[in-house]
Amino acid sequence: MTATTTSARSELSELGRSETALRTFLHGLPGVDQVGAEQRAAQLGTRSIKTTAKAQAIDLAIRMVDLTTLEGADTPGKVRALAAKALRPDPADPSCPHVGAVCVYPAMVPYVAEVLRGSGVHLASVATAFPSGQAPLEIKLADTRAAVAAGADEIDMVINRGAFLAGRYKEVYDEIVATKEASGDAHLKVILETGELATYDNVRRASWLAMLAGGDFIKTSTGKVPITATLPVTLVMLEAVRDFREATGRQVGVKPAGGIKTTKDAIKYLVLVNETVGTDWLDPDWFRFGASSLLNDLLMQRTKLTTGTYSGPDYFTLD
């Protein structure tokens, strides 16, 4: 550890103290070359991954899935079924790995916790007035504490986009810090809702803001607005976590969520991770997919590779 990184580190940790320091730092980040980012993401999307590499990628992607249901119509029975699927995605094949986590609303956490206890599958809960985040801070923190108390070991919080877009970075920062404190030992995933941030520059600033405030993961979207995860946005976020680790030594995970429906999409993301931040992030502890229908496609492709015949949606559970 050199003297410069130590001093850089303490400088970064001081940023949260004043609105001006935060603004100066975030607006001092280099701008994103929009055309370049989109071109780079598109180019990496053309890689062809076949046979054994594909089989490996599929198993890794299954382990990275945060199997999600965030509907008003969720019932205890439905989330229990989903948790059972998380443990054994393909009941016909014991060699199929379990998924990374199950992600539900706080009210559904106790039912999922019963099923997942001791299995190694994490239990994530959205909190802080998901998906809009438009609630008073005390309510957001109470929401978070309730989810943790019910058994969630990962909290997916939403940032206050209203404050972020209005330029009140300190307010956003303080909310993340407070939520991190309220989550205790639970991992904190910070949802940036990139579909509402409008520009890649904002995505980069929000990523840094979330990491400076102590987020363990940065996540693209809630899945509740029309624009969800895209490859270029994920590229910008991956570059941010890479640069953040260089500056501070702390590694932060990335979770694209929403709109990732096919095995091909998932493999494109894995290629992007490998080429941008390297194999350190190719692990369920550092990269996750927020998805629901993706799992069935991964399972169908997995079945195709093991049996040689194309499978159909009739043979996997609908969720």
Binding site for another protein (CB under 8 A): 308-315
Residues 190 and 168: their CA atoms lie apart, in Å, by 17
Does residue 131 have a cis bond before it (omega within 30 degrees)?
yes
3-class state of residue 217 by DSSP: strand
Q: Which residues of 295-309 are buried (b: 16+ CB within 10 A; e: fewer)?
A: bbbbbbbbbeeeeee
Of the pair 211, 300, the CB lying nearest another protein is at 300
Shortest Å, Cβ 311 to another protein: 5
**How far lies 215's CA from each of 21, 136, 189, 212, in Å?**
19, 20, 6, 7
Shortest Å, Cβ 307 to another protein: 9
Residues 186 and 259: their CA atoms lie apart, in Å, by 26
> Rounded to 5, what percent of the chain is helix, strand, coil?
55, 10, 35
Shortest Å, Cβ 261 to another protein: 12
| Residue whose C-alpha is closest to residue 86's, from 116, 107, 57 | 116
A 10 A CB-CB count for 56 gives 12
Of the pair 40, 268, the CB lying nearest another protein is at 268
Q: Please list the residues that pair with 103 across neighbouring strands.
A: 68, 124
Of the pair 274, 311, the CB lying nearest another protein is at 311
* Catalytic residue numbers, as ranges: 156, 219, 255
Shortest Å, Cβ 56 to another protein: 20
Shortest Å, Cβ 183 to another protein: 42
Of the pair 311, 317, the CB lying nearest another protein is at 311
| Residue whose C-alpha is closest to residue 29's, from 10, 44, 15, 14 | 15
Shortest Å, Cβ 296 to another protein: 12
Of the pair 75, 315, the CB lying nearest another protein is at 315
Secondary structure E strands in the chain: 65-68, 101-104, 122-126, 154-158, 187-191, 217-219, 253-255, 289-291
Of the pair 138, 314, the CB lying nearest another protein is at 314
Number of residues written out for the chain: 319
| Residue 191 in tokens | 């949802």
